Structure 1
Amino acid sequence: MQQTQQTDSVEKVRKWLHEAGFPVEIRMTEATIFTVEDASMAVGVPPSEILKSILLLADERPVLALMSGPNKVDLKKVKRHLNARKVRMCDPDFVFAYSGFRIGGVPPVGYPEQPFALLDEELFQFPVVWAAAGSDHAFFPISPEELRRITGGEARDIKK
């Protein structure tokens, strides 16, 4: 059952990317990409080039924080950027219920309605970052500029 769910999740991301005009090959790995360290080893790049997609709730509205691997999101900075009263991290059950993606494979795209995205400014130091593609065994490369374009997001200082 979980394998079918993972396959469906990856296909959802693949379809979304295709429809957004971003032809990319989603790569699969036997190794997990559940953590930044796992992903770094599986992909073969430094942890800073791994993209973390973190789902937040800002005044009960889903928002994505797209972070360079080792960086942590500063909820106070996100709150200021969004002029929100309250910002909090989503728990794994909410993430799955809202998006259909499980923690460890949360992608930057592929949602029924794309959440607003804030991109960690440090991502723009790299020509390519590596994003999860709907499961903890699937990923794809993307430039930070292309990531900003397809998510409709904004680059901001949101790092702790």
Structure 2
Amino acid sequence: MARRKAAAGASAGTPATVALTAAGIPFTVHPYEHDPSAPSYGLEAAEALGVEPDRVFKTLLADTDTGLVVGVVPVTGTLDLKALATAVGAKRAAMADPAVAERRTGYVVGGISPVGQKTQHVTVVDETAQLFDTVFVSGGKRGLDLELSPADLLRITAATYAPLAK
């Protein structure tokens, strides 16, 4: 998998592409035409890119009694908040307010990448990512996904695997 630069007009990249490049991690940029009326950003990405939806992962920020935590799950499922809390040693977890998620990650909702966030958060990736040679995550804006190996995703985010999706 070769590194590719973003399309013209985005030559500076996003914080996610900058972080991956700086770390020397191979990734592929997959831009697509985003439809603002799409009911699911992740399923929209899978369809637009012609990828099986189980390989496309969404990034969600949760508020726990131990702090904000990132959960990365397939777009075909939902984040099991109890499982996320257990994975990070917390007693409870609830979805973070979207404004807090945007402020703390530096990305807009629907384009939050697990990579290159403004504030580094404890990150947990659903264990099903290991089933694939590569997975797709948001590249830091709506209409842009990044393809990379699950092992590299864990390395760049200092994440762990756990069963998070339901």
Does the alignment reach a TM-score above 0.5? yes
Q: Which has the higher helix share?
A: 1
Q: 2:68: which partner in 1?
A: 62
Q: Tell me, yes or no, if structure 1 residue 139 matches structure 2 residue 150.
A: no
The change in CA–CA distance for 1:8 and 1:114 in structure 2 (over 3 A counts) is: farther
Give the share of equivalent positions with the same residue, in percent.
26
2:112 is paired with a residue whose SS is coil
Alignment size in residue pairs: 154
Q: Tell me, yes or no, if structure 1 residue 48 matches structure 2 residue 51.
A: no
Q: 1:80 aligns with which of 73, 79, 86?
A: 86
Query: What RMSD over aligned residues (CA atoms) do the two structures have, in Å?
Result: 2.1
Q: 1:13: which partner in 2?
A: 16
> Whole-Å Cα distance in 1 between the matches of residues 24 and 160 of structure 2?
20
Q: 1:27: which partner in 2?
A: 30
2:44 is paired with a residue whose SS is helix
Deviation at 1:9, TM superposition (A): 9.7
> Whole-Å Cα distance in 1 between the matches of residues 56 and 143 of structure 2?
14
The change in CA–CA distance for 1:13 and 1:87 in structure 2 (over 3 A counts) is: same
**Structure 2 residues not aligned, in runs of 5+:** 1-9
The change in CA–CA distance for 1:9 and 1:122 in structure 2 (over 3 A counts) is: farther
The change in CA–CA distance for 1:104 and 1:38 in structure 2 (over 3 A counts) is: same
User: What is the CA deviation profile of residues 81-120 of structure 1, one whole-angstrom value per residue up to 9, with x for unaligned ones?
Assistant: 2221331111221111112211111111111332111110
